Amino acid sequence: MITVEGLTKTYGPTLAVDDVTFTASPGRVTGFLGPNGAGKSTSMRILVGLTRPTSGTATVLGHRFTDLPNPGLEVRVLLDASAQHAGRTGREILTLSQQMMGLPPGRVEEMLDLVGLTPTESGRRVREYSLGMRQRLGVATALIGAPEVLILDEPANGLDPGGIRWMRDLLRGHADRGGTVLLSSHLLHEIEVIADDIVVIGHGRIVARGTKADLLAGTGTLVQTRNRGPLVAGLDAAGVTFTDHGTPYAGAVTLRVDADPELVGRLAHQADVALLGLRPADGAGLEEMFLDLTADTQRESAA
Ligand X SMILES: Nc1ncnc2c1ncn2[C@@H]1O[C@H](COP(=O)(O)OP(=O)(O)OP(=O)(O)O)[C@@H](O)[C@H]1O
Of positions 11, 66, 99, 160, contacts ligand X by CB under 6 A = 11
- Pick from 1, 5, 27, 36 the residue near ligand X by CB under 6 A: 36
Under the binding rule (CB under 6 A), the answer on residue 219 touching ligand X is no
Residue 82 makes contact with ligand X by CB under 6 A? no
CB 183 within 8 A of CB 198: no
- Contact call for residues 28 and 196 (beta carbons, < 8 A): yes
Candidates 35-43, 95-103, 230-238, 261-269: pick the segment binding ligand X (CB under 6 A): 35-43
Binding mask 39-58 for ligand X (x = CB under 6 A): xxxx----------------
| Number of residues binding to ligand X, judged by CB under 6 A | 12
Of 206 and 257, nearer to ligand X (C-beta) is 206
Q: Which of 227, 239, 241, 221 is nearest to 272 (CA)?
A: 227
| 152 part of the interface to ligand X, by CB under 6 A | no
Is 236 within 8 Å of 225 (Cβ atoms)? no
Angstrom distance (rounded) from CA 79 to CA 161: 21
Collapsing DSSP to helix, strand or coil, 45 comes out as helix
The answer to the question of residue 158 lying near ligand X (CB under 6 A) is no
Among positive and negative, which fits the CA dihedral 233, 234, 236, 242?
Answer: negative
| 185 Cβ contact partners less than 8 Å away, ≥ 6 residues apart | 31, 32, 33, 154, 156, 191
131 binds ligand X (CB under 6 A): no
C-beta closer to ligand X: residue 36 or 70: 36
Considering only the stretches 37-45, 59-67, 277-285, 293-301, report the one whose residues sit in contact with ligand X under the rule CB under 6 A.
37-45
- How far, in Å, CA of 148 to CA of 71, rounded? 10
Residue 38, interface with ligand X (CB under 6 A)? yes
- Footprint of ligand X (CB under 6 A): 11, 14, 16, 34, 36-42, 186
